Structure 1
Amino acid sequence: MRITWLGHSAFRVEFDGHALLIDPFLTGNPGFNGDHAAVTAGISHILITHGHGDHVGDTIAIAKETGATVVTNYELCMWLASQGVAKVDPMNTGGTTDQGGFTVTLVRADHSAGMGEAGVAVPLGFPNGLIVKAKGQPTLYHFGDTDIFSDMGLIAELHQPRIGLVPIGDRFTMGAEVAALAVKRYFDFDAVLPCHYASFPPLAANADAFVTAMQGHKTRVHTPKSGEAVEL
């Protein structure tokens, strides 16, 4: 599995001939310095954790350009369809869908969801984490935006993820030390990649505190620069 961090919480994930984007916030993302065409080349799916602008990002434009299927919660799917996205596959928390070669499961996240229209916040379903499973590949868990919660233990028991994409930026998600506690207490990851940091001034400027909090633990921490790929 090849995972490329695109800044903030955006990732490109490639395995077995599949290419997907998660939370493709590219335009306006200070952490993204890559080539838009290269990042979106060959993608078949866009997975979205929740309905905030820094996670929905460029979904509408990318879906129209590529014909990719968007997978997310029902309310956000219906809103995206109203904006001209042709292929949506709506879900809700706890559900699993077969995307042809891999499955996606939506799990709980402790956050909020909604985007402003004409000064009014429009609710767009519940926030989620994403579980991606494919035969012969390590199970991937993108936490979405969340705080720690004890039911992470159930997510670990049910899905046994091996790779974690973990928000560490604080203020809008758990901070570095709490994120490290979540990883160490509830999961048996082979590798984790921190995210949701180093993009906007209110967030943590780097992953140093997370790396320090994870020292001595068997889980390997990868902190690629934006645009760098990690092979797992």
Structure 2
Amino acid sequence: ITNSQGKVLLIDPCLEDNPASPVKVSHLKRVDLVLVTHLAFDHLGDTAEIAKKFDCPVVCGGEVKQFLLKQGVDAAQIRTLTWGVQLLVEGIRVRSIMSRHASMRLDAEGNFLCGFPMGFIVYADAGVRIYHSGDTAIYSDLKLVGELYRPNIGLISCSEVEKDYLEKHGILDHYASEMNGDEGALAALWLGVEYALCSHYLYPKGHQDIDKFVSILNNRTSDEGPVVKPVVLEAGDVFVYPPQEK
């Protein structure tokens, strides 16, 4: 996310181990803030390397902090929070939102770390509120999140990461707890966002959950309530808000 002041914010930056990403850590020129939703390898990603390279703050849960400390990140860079807490970091307000998921991992010494997974609302600019779902399962309080905080944009996990990628990391017979296409579309409607950006995939083409997510939202009429526009990006694409007229 880059705001109008040029501040650069990353959420769950998994770049080096992401075969779809054309952007690697060496390509990054500026990072002002990193947010981490939970400890899973594909979400913590390259946070430690980025934090050390740019000496930037990291906002995360306490269990993520402990993991990052073991990876050599300075404690002074790490700001912890849990559900409901707001922080103002680098001039950007961040609110932690509950995620129905898990955040657990063994550190390098074999210690079991466990904490609160989370989503975020990022107040990127005046009038611009971005909701990031993390890996949450669907839950009805997302309606309340929409009613209270009125996000414009939703970055919504609506699919399971491709199975061959998970199997490469030893995750077999995985049944996703993240939202699928139906659930993600319903969450977007509950949140009342203007734009719902699909997330949690490598390649969108031919992905059944993404196709379903898009179809549900595109076939909704204004008579049924506010229209939510689905957005599907390839890795490396850019979405501009508000969209520029062609």
Q: Normalised by the size of structure 1, how large is the TM-score?
A: 0.85
Distance 1:173 1:134 in 2: 25
Distance 2:107 2:6 in 1: 38
Distance 2:43 2:6 in 1: 24
Q: Which residue of 2 aligns with 1:28?
A: 17
Residue 176, structure 1, aligned to residue 181, structure 2: yes
Q: 1:44 deviation in Å?
A: 0.8
Where is the helix percentage greater, Structure 1 or Structure 2?
A: 2
Q: Which residue of 1 aligns with 2:168?
A: none
Residue 187, structure 1, aligned to residue 177, structure 2: no
Q: 1:122 deviation in Å?
A: 2.3
134-143 vs 189-198, which deviates more? 134-143
Amino acid at match of 1:190: E
Per-residue CA deviation, residues 10-37 of structure 1 (Å, 9 max, x unaligned), is xxx0002210110001121122122433
User: Does the 8 A contact of 1:197 with 1:205 survive in 2?
Assistant: no
Distance 2:79 2:41 in 1: 19
Amino acid at match of 1:195: S
Q: Which residue of 2 aligns with 1:45?
A: 33
Structure 1: state its 5+ residue gaps.
1-12
Structure 2: state its 5+ residue gaps.
161-175, 221-226, 242-246
Map 1:64-79 to 2 at 5 A: 64-79=52-67
Q: Which residue of 2 aligns with 1:60?
A: 48
Q: Which residue of 1 aligns with 2:164?
A: none
Map 1:143-222 to 2 at 5 A: 143-170=133-160, 171-184=176-189, 186-198=190-202, 204=207, 207-217=210-220, 218-222=227-231
Per-residue CA deviation, residues 123-156 of structure 1 (Å, 9 max, x unaligned), is 3311100110144241000000011101112211
Aligned-partner SS, 1:189: coil
27-36 vs 187-196, which deviates more? 27-36
Aligned-partner SS, 1:89: strand
Aligned-partner SS, 1:207: helix
Where is the strand percentage greater, Structure 1 or Structure 2?
A: 1
Q: 1:84 deviation in Å?
A: 1.3
User: Does the 8 A contact of 1:164 with 1:193 survive in 2?
Assistant: yes
Aligned-partner SS, 1:155: helix
Q: 1:231 deviation in Å?
A: 0.3
Cα 1:135–1:225 change in 2 (3 A) is closer
Cα 1:134–1:229 change in 2 (3 A) is closer
Q: Which residue of 2 aligns with 1:5?
A: none
Map 1:102-117 to 2 at 5 A: 102-117=92-107
CA RMSD of aligned residues (A): 2.1
Q: Which residue of 1 aligns with 2:167?
A: none
Distance 2:24 2:108 in 1: 32
User: Does the 8 A contact of 1:115 with 1:122 survive in 2?
Assistant: yes
Distance 1:155 1:123 in 2: 28
Equivalent of 2:73 in 81, 85, 89 = 85
Distance 1:197 1:117 in 2: 26
Q: 1:205 deviation in Å?
A: 6.3
Distance 2:145 2:10 in 1: 22
Equivalent of 1:224 in 217, 227, 233 = 233
Q: Normalised by the size of structure 2, how large is the TM-score?
A: 0.81
- The structure with higher relative contact order (CA 8 Å, sep 6+) is 1
Cα 1:149–1:128 change in 2 (3 A) is same
